[in-house]
A and B are shown apart, each in its own frame.
Chain A
Amino acid sequence: MSHVRYIDKTREYYLGQGYEKPYEWAHFDEVPFSKLSKPLSEARVSLVSTSDITVRGENDEDNHAEQLFVGNVYSIAADTPLDRLYSRQEHYDKYATNLDDVDSYFPITRLHEAAAEGLIGSVAPRLHGVFTAYSHRRTLTVDGPEVLRRCREDGVDAVVLTPV
């Protein structure tokens, strides 16, 4: 079977739920492209994810539901032990799978392994989460620039992004 057409599926699903106006997915004709400025084995790499990755004991008082709709950027120290991380994400296929393994959606261990093996130069000191904003404008004018600012501060050469 071919891949799932989520744009069509969600349009039909939410029309069925009584929403008249379908969500407008972002679309562009032009796609920006940058090349690595150095070999990957010398590059500093960071992660950015919408998987709602959370450190146990922190951020507990955040207004989670509102963040999901307004969006913002937060960072996690790359040396945070795996067992302190989990996801509060609800937007995944809970019938077919689970989010019990952080590395299945936020590949922090795989990133550290890549550095240890010399595939990449180093792991950036901070990895980042972005709450899904339902405003494209917000993402492009606030969240995108904030991720860029943090990556530049950390001397990041390349970024792996994992949408969930």
Chain B
Amino acid sequence: MSLVARYLEENGIPTVLIANARDIVEYCGVARMVFVDYPLGNPCGRPFEVEEQRQIFALALAQLENAAAPRTTVQAPQQWPGGEDWKRLIFSNEQPFLEGGVYDDWIEAKKRYKDLKEDGKV
């Protein structure tokens, strides 16, 4: 996603990312980002928490207007309720990121991608 944002910026269209994975986005380098310190899947606020979603979206719009230079990160003030165990458990053996059929599909798709790559098709 960061790569698409960079491509748009290079071609004159300003962008802002709303993202949960701060390190991945900043490692790539983008113009503007709203960092929401939530589990992967809810960058724009918790499900059905409309007021919170509005606040986060407003931060993104403000970034479009106000950021003066690239690599501007603004952190949303919201905190995930119920503690921070999810930060410790993500990508752990206790909580495998992909399981069962989903994991098998992923491995299968990776193989297909490798084949396409070897054939020069991607």
Q: Is B truly associated with A?
A: yes
- Interface 0/1 of B81-96, CB less than 8 Å to A: 0001011011111010
Closest B-chain residue to A69, C-beta based? B113
| A143 with B4: CB separation less than 8 A | yes
State the interface size on chain A (CB cutoff 8 A). Answer: 83
- A65 to B82 alpha-carbon distance, docked (Å): 33
Contacts A33-B69, A36-B65, A110-B44; is A9 near B7 (CB within 8 Å)? no
| A3 with B43: CB separation less than 8 A | no
| B53 with A25: CB separation less than 8 A | no
A79 at the binding interface (Cβ < 8 Å): no
State the interface size on chain B (CB cutoff 8 A). Answer: 79
- The interface of chain B, by Cβ under 8 A from chain A, is 1-25, 27-31, 35, 37-50, 53-54, 57-58, 60-61, 64-65, 69-71, 80, 84, 86-87, 89-93, 95, 97-98, 102, 105-106, 108-110, 112-113, 116-117, 122
A-B contact pairs, 23 of them (CB 8 A): A4-B23, A6-B21, A9-B90, A13-B97, A29-B29, A31-B6, A31-B29, A34-B8, A66-B109, A95-B95, A97-B42, A98-B47, A101-B48, A104-B44, A104-B45, A106-B44, A140-B7, A148-B7, A159-B8, A159-B14, A160-B17, A160-B57, A162-B18
